[in-house]
Amino acid sequence: MLGSGILQAVLHDAAERLNFQASLATRHVANIIGGDHIGANALEATAQTFTSADRSSRATLEHVLDSSEKGAKGTDFPGRIPEWDRPEFLDRDIHYQITCLEREMGLTSEARRLLEASLYIDRKFWATAVAGRQPEPHLIFGADHWASYLHARLYARRYGNQDLTVSFIRGIHKRLAIRHDPEAAGRCRIEEGFRSGKNANWGRLAEPLTRSQRAAIAENPVLTYAAPFDARDHGLVISPVIPGQEGAREIQVLPRPLTDSEIAAVDADPLRGYQPPGIERTYNSNGVIVFPRFVSSDSVSLHLQQSVCDWYNSGRGDPSNDLYQLSAGTQKRIVSPHVLADWNGRTSRIVMNWSLENRGLSPSVIDNFDNDMFTPLRDWTESVRAGSDRYQQWAHALDNRESRGEPIDPVSLFGLEAEAQRFRELQADSGDKSPSLLFPPGEDHDHTYADHLWARLEGPAEPPSPPP
């Protein structure tokens, strides 16, 4: 979900998605690309109309799950397929699924579940819910999404320390999507019925980019920034940065109307797109980020293989490499082009944490999932490193308290005492004396509201120390 993230609206032509009614697509277009929960709840409203029928189709489920059972070199995963990764497991009650998955993950207490959920839920939601003592914060995006996340995490752990492959990336995506949109599970957008943004595929910016953010886009080979433009008079053409080559594209505002033959030539070109006159500067007053164009499933797989898998596999064999930078860079390379059929953010972060854990490092608790594409790799690496250190500290404190048999208060464990106190003060000021359900489970939560509430709970920044 996007909410108050940097991008406000993306994939201008997302209404063309197969089975999406135009009204629903317009309502949810801003949710298709964004932070931790990219498109999850946006898809759910429509997906609910056909998910039940698709779940009952064993042939569909078997097809979706069995193709990712191969390891990096085509060998089967070692041992027998566990219950939680068999097609029939999806037919079980969701609470049974969660119990089984949590047991396999070793999530034997509320504190253990919350620790794992810190990797999965945006901090503004997770920390606010913990500080506000909302019951079961790990379920705020719905029981089915929690089950899907755990399913994908277990799949990554079972895969183990092998080479990174496109099949493995798709396998993670399959397990994230299978309960919500079986037809999209493990697939890229172009396979799922999108035109993949031939005539648009950009994201409007909610606020101007900083110099650092523009530098992050400039260093990203698949993204481009377009300054605010006015295409009311003659429209625009969106074309490859390198003529004839898939990948990054750029916007050209037309100085004159195109002729019918010129429009026909653009329409016939799979790499170029045309927007007719009508787009005003007020529509993109802070500019847009232009996403790449790939014309087939094979070209998407080739991009992932060369840009992500080959890069990672080469880097992990070099002992001089910074493992945090390798993991952070891999995450950015997966999420930036947004080629998967939603859940790009979750997929990329599960791969990142798989990489860290394979090297004996802790997974990373990221403060703001939306920052990945808008942070230079050097700075993003430090964010991932700090998040890994934070997780390790929490895990160590939890281990110590459990070993001593001490009662565990999540607010204390995660250092949220000050935020909890401010929450009580806000609650008292509002006259509400009853416990509040900040984020009802399974609803499409408002990112702007969460941003504002979390900012109030964090309080003002500490004033600088006076000079000696």
In the chain, the percentage of residues whose pLDDT exceeds 70 is 79
pLDDT in tens, 4-39: 344 433 333 333 333 333 332 322 323 222 233 323
Q: What token pair was written down for 76?
A: 């089967």
Three-state DSSP class for 187? Answer: coil
pLDDT at 380 over 80: yes
Specify the pLDDT at position 289: 95
Cα gap 176→185, rounded to integer Å = 7
pLDDT at 196 over 70: no
- CB 59 within 8 Å of CB 67: no
pLDDT in tens, 407-420: 999 999 999 999 99
Cα gap 347→353, rounded to integer Å = 10
Place of tokens 């026909």: 264
Other C-beta atoms lying within 10 Å of the C-beta of residue 319: 6
Q: What token pair was written down for 281?
A: 């500067």
pLDDT at 71 over 50: no
Q: What token pair was written down for 86?
A: 């068999």
pLDDT at 81 over 90: yes
Where exactly are the structural domains of the chain? 1-201+292-405, 202-290
Q: For residue 176, what is the enclosing H or E element?
A: helix 166-177
Q: What token pair was written down for 394?
A: 């929490």
Cα gap 430→421, rounded to integer Å = 14
Residue 283's Cβ-count burial label (10 Å; 0-12, 13-18, 19+) is middle
Cα gap 117→250, rounded to integer Å = 38
In the chain, the percentage of residues whose pLDDT exceeds 90 is 70
Specify the pLDDT at position 205: 94
pLDDT band with cut points at 50, 70 and 90 for residue 438: confident
Look over the chain and give the mean of its residue pLDDT values, rounded to a whole number.
83
Other C-beta atoms lying within 10 Å of the C-beta of residue 267: 13
- CATH architecture, range 1-201+292-405: Orthogonal Bundle (1.10)
pLDDT in tens, 118-156: 999 999 999 999 999 999 999 999 999 999 999 999 999
Q: pTM for the complete prediction? A: 0.82
Average pLDDT of span 201-220: 94
Place of tokens 């074309």: 239
249-253 and 273-275 strand pairing: unpaired
AA letter at 340: L
